[in-house]
Structure 1
Amino acid sequence: MDGLLSTETLAGMLGAEDLLVLDATYTSTIPGAAKQDPRAEFEAGHIPGARLLDLDTLVDAGNPLPSMLPKRPLFEERMAQLGVTADTRIVLYDNSPHHTACRAWWVLRMFGVNAAILDGSIGHWRAEGRPVQAGPHLAAATDFTAGAPAARLRTLDDMRTTTEQIVDARSAARFTGEEADPRPECAAGHMPGAKNIPYGRFFEADGHWKSPEAIRAVFDTAGLNLAAPMVATCGSGITASVIVFAGHLIGHEIALYDGSWTEWGAHADTAKVLGA
C-alpha cells in the first residue's frame, strides 16, 4: 500500500489486524511553526487504533543538522516498538500545516517500508464526524528488519555537482531572499538553477491533495520537466518531502536533499542566488 487514501476508505479498514495507522505530526525544528506537543495532542484524540510515530525523535540525533534521516538501528527499533511486520499495511496522517506525514512517508521508504497517506489528514477526519480515541497507544513489540531503500537521498557533495533539476519547497519570499532565513547562520536566497514551488500549491483550498492532472500543471508552471531527473529541497528536508510525494502520485520519483538550505545556506563556499 503506497499512495493516497481517502477518509472513507480508511474508515472501512479500521479494525483489520494487518492495519497500522501512525500519527506523523512533527513540529520541533521548523522555524516559525506554531508550538505543538504531538504526544499530548495524540493522547487527547487520535484515529482509533493509531499509534504515535514520534517523528520528532526519529532523526539522527548525532547530526548537528535538524531532522536528518535516522540511522538504521534507530529506525528498526522504532518500527519494532510500534509492532510493524513485513505484512503490515501502514497509513500515515498528521496534524501539521507542513504536511509532515510526507516526511514520515519518505523516511519509511528510505528503509524499504511502503505506506499510504491519509488525504485531508486528521482535520478532515474530525470534520466528517468520524470516531476518535483518547489515551496513549498500546503496541506489542515485534522483530523488524529494514529493507533496501525505495526512495532517493542526496547529500551536500551530491548537490555540488548535480545535473538534476532542483525544486525548492520554501515560500517565494525565502526563495528570492526578500525574506531573511529564520536560521541566522543561513544566508538568504536559493541554490543556483533552482525552481520554486511553495509546497502549499499541491493542495486544494480545503486541504485535500490536487488531482494528478493539477499536480502535473504545478510542475509545468514552475518550468520543470517531469521527464527529467529532479531533486527537492527546502529549509530542513521536511516540506521538500511534500514535493517528493507529489511526484510519486504522478509516477515521477524525485530525490530529496536532506540537509537542504539549513546545510547549503550555512556553508561559506556554496553559491547562493538572490531574486527569482
Structure 2
Amino acid sequence: YRMTGKLEYGLEWDRDQLISLAATIRRIYWPFSVFLMLPLVLFILIRKTKMDLDCKLAFVAHMAILVVFDVYNGLFYQIYTLLPFPVIVCTGIVCDDQHSPRTLLTILAFWTILLCVPYLFVMMRIHQKILNEDSYLKLSHRSQLLLMMVLTLVLASNVYGFGAWSVESEDKEETIQFITVQKSRTYELQMRFMLSMSIQYFLQEFLTSILFIIPMAFLFIFMVTPIANVLSDTILGLFRFTLILSLSCIKLGLSLVFFF
C-alpha cells in the first residue's frame, strides 16, 4: 500500500481495488453463510436426507465446523495472497501488531484441517458401503478406525508445522515494497514455504471437492514457474481475486449440493 503508480504483475489492481473488494465480499458472505445457508443445509441434512446415522452425524459435524471456519476466515483473519510474491496480506479485524502472524496462521490451519476430518470419514464410509463383500478393498471397522486415525494425524502435522516453523521473513519490509522476487535475499526459503503451503491447500481442496482442484493447481504453478512473467496484468489480477474467493467461500459449493 505504500507505493503509488503502476506496479509489477498488475499489483496496483490489488492495492487500489481487489484487496478491499475481496474483504467486502467476505464480510457480506460469512453472515449470509452462517445465519441463512447453514441452517437451511442442516435442516435438509437432518430432516430430508436418507442416510445412515454415522454419515449424517459426520456431515452435520462438517457443516458445524465450516461455520467456525467462515467466521474466522470471513471476519477475523482475511488473507489475500500477492502472487507470485510470497506475501500474505491480512485484512481481518485481528490483523494488527498485537496478534502474531504465526498464531493466526496456525489457527487458520487448525480449522482448515479439522473440517476435512468428518468429510474424509463420510467418503470412506460411502466407499466401503458400495464395495462388494468379497472385495479386497473392504475394510473391517477396526481397520477403518485405524485409517481415520492415521489420516487425522497426518493432517494434524500441518497444524504443528505452522505453529512450530512459520516465521516472518527477515526481508519483510523489503518485500512489502513490491521488489522483484529475484532481489529477495530469502527467495529460496520463501518459495519453499509457499510451495509447502500451496500443497497443503491443494490437498484440503482436493479432499473436499473436485471443484477446487483447478485454482489450487494454478496456485502451485504460479509458485514454482515464471509463468507470471508472460501473462497480462489483467489476467493476474483477476486470478488472484478469484483464487482467494474460492478459498474463502468454500462452503457455498458444498452447500449447493444439498439443494439439487
TM-score by length of 2: 0.26
TM-score by length of 1: 0.25
Q: Which has the higher contact order (CA 8 A, sep 6+)?
A: 2
> Between Structure 1 and Structure 2, whose CA radius of gyration is higher?
2
More strand by share: 1
More helix by share: 2
